[in-house]
């Protein structure tokens, strides 16, 4: 090989080494970008942690909503019976207000001494 060919080969290798320096810096840049993304996406009001907390809260509220719907349905059914069913009204009066119907016999038990 001639001297000029050797110099050209060395220059090409030197240029490729310069590009290698850039490629060696690439993983560090990638790590830095990843860390910055994590820094801005994990904490904060719109971050991943808050998003997880909001999903949990939504799930809890949905369960509570189902329970309230069942209770509402039960109360609506009871309200309908109180409006339309005289026997149920009488039952409620006797049970909840401790009233008696005419002709009922009241039995009172006294607590005995031991």
Q: Do 106 and 100 form a contact (C-beta atoms < 8 A)?
A: yes
| Distance between CA atoms of residues 98 and 95, nearest Å | 6
- pTM assigned to the model: 0.51
* Residues 21-68 pLDDT 10s: 556 778 888 888 888 887 777 777 778 888 899 999 999 999 999 999
| Distance between CA atoms of residues 11 and 14, nearest Å | 5
* Residues 84-96 pLDDT 10s: 999 998 888 888 8
């Amino acid at each position: 090989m001639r001297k000029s060919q050797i110099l050209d080969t060395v220059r090409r290798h030197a240029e490729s080494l310069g590009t290698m320096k850039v490629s060696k810096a690439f993983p560090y840049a990638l790590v830095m970008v990843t860390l910055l993304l994590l820094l801005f996406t994990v904490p904060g009001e719109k971050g991943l942690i808050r998003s997880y907390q909001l999903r949990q809260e939504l799930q809890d509220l949905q369960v509570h909503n189902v329970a309230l719907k069942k209770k509402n349905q039960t109360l609506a059914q009871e309200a309908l019976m109180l409006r339309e069913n005289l026997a149920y009204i009488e039952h409620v009066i006797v049970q909840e207000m401790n009233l008696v119907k005419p002709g009922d016999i009241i039995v009172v038990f006294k607590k005995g001494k031991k």
